[in-house]
Structure formats: C-alpha cells, structure tokens
C-alpha cells in the first residue's frame, strides 16, 4: 500500500489540464470547448488545493489561501461559462451554427 502524495495530485491535475487543452483546441462544438475550459480550470483548482494541503499547511495548518483561491476560481468559472453560453446562443440565433471553425468573424 503506498501513500497518495502531492505528486499524484499533480499528475492528475496535469492529465486533466492536457485533456482540457486538447479539447479546447480540437473540438468543433463551441459548447464542448466551453466544457474543456472548465476541465482546465478544475485541473488548476486541484493543483491549488494540493499545494495548499501539502506545502502551505505543512508549515502552518491555519493557512487556507489555496482553498479560498480555488473557491474564487470556481465562482469566476461559473460567471465565465454563463457569458460564454450567452455568446454561443446569440451566435446560434444569428448564424444558425455553433461550430467554432465556421465562425471566422475576426478574419481580415
């Protein structure tokens, strides 16, 4: 039986982040892209909590900055997702599609 340590969390976090990053770059469906952002943010959250637990609290058990930061990230992520969904709905209403590779309004 081995003990689960900091590195395990970091590996999990890195794997989640990579999956999220790949999805954000490769998926065509805009909703999927948003979901992948969530994955990446959550990977970061795991990272933050893990460091808080294993590094900061090892020094001083009363330090909760990492946890608080994770909670903040979750709040911001929720707000960001709601704005993203609103954008997607508007794009869908105006252009009848939500595939990001077909939306090139920023083109020259």
Partner 1 sequence: MNAAIDYAWLIPVFPFLGFLVNVFYGTKLKDKYWAPPIVGMFGSLLISTGCLLATLDPNFQRAAGHRFIEWVQFNSVPVNLGYQIDALAAMMLMVVTFIGGLIFIYSVGYMAHDPRRHRFFAYLSLFAAAMLILVLSDGFIGLFIGWEGVGLCSYFLIGFWFEKPTVRQCAKKAFLITRLGDAGMALGMYLLYSLSGRLDFDGVFEFAAQRQTETVTGLIVLSAILVWIGPVGKSAQFPLHIWLPDAMAGPTPVSALIHAATMVAAGVYLIARLFPLFAIGAFTDGLSTPLTVVGYVGALTAVVAATIGVVNNDIKKVLAYSTVSQLGFMMAALGCGGGGYIAGVFHLMTHAFFKALLFLGSGSVIHAVEHGMHDAHVHADPQDMWNMGGLRKCMKTTYVTYLIGALALSGFPLMAGFWSKDEILHHALDERPIIGGMLAFAAFLTAFYMTRQMFLVFGGEQREFDDGHGHRHHLHIHDSPLVMTVPLMILAVFSLGIGLLVGPTHKFQHWMIKSLEQAAGGGGARLAHHLHSSHDSIPQVIVAAMTKPPYPMTISLFVATVGFLLGFALYGKQQVKSETEDPVRKLGGLHTFFKNLWYLDFYEPFYPLGAALRQFYFTVAQAMYRFDQRVIDATVNTVGITGHVLSRVYQLIDIFIVDGLVNLAGWATKWCGDRSRRLQTGLAQNYMLVVTIGVLGLICVSRMLWAGAAR
Binding site for partner 1 (CB under 8 A): 21, 24-26, 33, 100-101, 103-108
Closer residue to partner 1, CB minimum distance, 24 or 50: 24
Locate 45 and state its tokens: 């959250």
Please, what is the minimum distance in Å from the beta carbon of residue 71 to partner 1? 26
Q: Which is nearer to partner 1, 26 or 76 (CB)?
A: 26
For residue 69, which of 39, 49, 42 has the smallest C-alpha distance?
49
Cα distances from 89 to residues 36, 56, 94, 97, in angstroms, run: 18, 42, 9, 9
What's the half-sphere exposure (Cβ side, CA atoms, 13 Å) at 55? 13
Q: Are the C-beta atoms of 91 and 30 separated by less than 8 Å?
A: yes
Q: How far is the CB of 54 from partner 1 (least distance, A)?
A: 23
Q: Which residue's CB is nearer to partner 1, number 8 or number 28?
A: 28
Residue labelled with tokens 């900055």: 65
State the nearest-atom distance from the C-beta of 75 to partner 1, in Å: 23
Closer by beta carbon to partner 1, 68 or else 95:
95
In the complex, the smallest distance separating the C-beta of residue 4 from partner 1, rounded to whole angstroms, is: 27
């Amino acid at each position: 039986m081995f003990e689960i340590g900091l590195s395990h969390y970091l590996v999990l976090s890195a794997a989640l982040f990579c999956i999220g990053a790949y999805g954000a770059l490769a998926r065509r469906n805009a909703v999927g892209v948003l979901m992948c952002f969530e994955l990446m943010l959550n990977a970061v959250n795991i990272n933050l909590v893990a460091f808080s637990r294993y590094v900061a609290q090892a020094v001083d058990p009363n330090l909760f900055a990492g946890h608080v930061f994770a909670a903040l990230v979750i709040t911001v992520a929720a707000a960001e997702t709601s704005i993203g969904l609103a954008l997607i709905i508007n794009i869908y209403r105006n252009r009848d599609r939500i595939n990001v590779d077909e939306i090139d309004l920023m083109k020259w």
